[in-house]
């Protein structure tokens, strides 16, 4: 059985988004990765994650990839008929009426072609919740998310988080969060990227650089971002 055939056996809906490229929704990732042959599939996700972030397989933790594709509530996979090209995962917080965007990455072969927006749209279309949240070091991800929501907190124009949202932020990220700015200090043991990408919005780039203390393209800090759908 091919890896894509194994993937499709667990999907709950698949649709074409470009010539030969599809998005499939996996509603029970734990079931998928407990099936025979799933170790090879996990290795394929590991490869995509490492290449997508521009690091070696050894530098990209297998446990970290496992957390992003198995210990989640939904998984959205970008793929061709023969290989995984990217993925995005979510965790559900019904107690907060919030969809937590746990992670997203694309293989370099398909970056810059609008597929990040397609995966983001797939995640948000599937949610019954009215709010989204995620942590990021990446200005590009902020800009993509901003285009789908009514308002983001914080933002370059409103860098101070409203007091009413600060308790929610503390519940989502109880360690390292500055509640007034939603900067999460020392979020990662090392920077996720060889050099943090820049968006097309110079104001966003400058805000990230100063708030997260990006030096020579590197930081261990991140933002918690909340948005209203």
The predicted structure's pLDDT at residue 1 = 60
Query: What's the rounded Cα separation, in Å, for the pair 171 and 173?
Result: 6
Which DSSP helix (H) or strand (E) runs through 66? helix 62-69
Sign, CA torsion 126/97/86/12: negative
**What mean pLDDT is predicted for residues 205-225?**
98
Which residue segments constitute the domains of the chain, with CATH numbers given?
A: 1-129 (3.40.630.30), 133-229 (no CATH)
Structure confidence by residue, pLDDT tens digits, 38-74: 999 999 999 999 999 999 998 888 899 999 999 999 9
Please work out, in degrees rounded to the nearest 5, the angle formed at the alpha carbon of residue 161 by the alpha carbons of 157 and 166: 165
Share of the chain above pLDDT 70, in %: 100
pLDDT band at 37 (very low <50, low <70, confident <90, very high): confident
pLDDT tens across 106-142, in order? 999 999 999 999 999 999 998 999 999 999 999 999 9
Backbone angles phi, psi at 36, to 5 degrees: -55, 135
| Predicted TM-score (pTM) of this structure | 0.93
Instruction: Answer yes or no: is pLDDT of 143 > 70.
Output: yes
Q: State phi, psi for 43 to the nearest 5 degrees.
A: -65, -35
Helices 115-125, 139-146: crossing angle, 10 deg rounding: 50
Please say whether the beta carbons of 66 and 32 come within 8 A. no
């Amino acid at each position: 059985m091919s890896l894509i055939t194994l993937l499709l056996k667990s999907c709950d809906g698949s649709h074409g988004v470009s010539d030969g490229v599809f998005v499939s929704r996996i509603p029970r990732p734990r079931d998928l990765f407990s099936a025979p042959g799933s170790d090879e599939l996990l290795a394929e996700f590991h490869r995509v994650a490492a290449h997508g972030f521009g690091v070696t397989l050894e530098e990209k933790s297998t446990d970290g990839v496992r957390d992003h594709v198995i210990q989640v509530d939904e998984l959205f996979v970008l793929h061709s008929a023969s290989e995984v090209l990217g993925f995005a995962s979510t965790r559900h917080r019904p107690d907060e009426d919030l969809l937590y965007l746990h992670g997203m990455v694309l293989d370099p072969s398909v970056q810059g072609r609008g597929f990040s927006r397609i995966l983001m749209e797939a995640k948000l279309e599937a949610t019954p919740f009215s709010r989204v949240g995620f942590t990021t070091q990446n200005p590009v991800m902020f800009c993509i998310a901003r285009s789908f929501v009514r308002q983001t907190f914080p933002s370059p124009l409103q860098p101070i988080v409203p007091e009413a949202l600060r308790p929610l932020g503390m519940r989502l990220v109880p360690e390292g969060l500055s509640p007034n700015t939603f900067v999460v200090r020392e979020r990662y043991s090392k920077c996720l990227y060889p050099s943090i990408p820049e968006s097309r919005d110079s104001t966003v780039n400058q805000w990230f650089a100063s708030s997260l203390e990006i030096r020579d393209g590197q930081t261990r800090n991140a933002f918690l971002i909340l948005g209203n759908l």
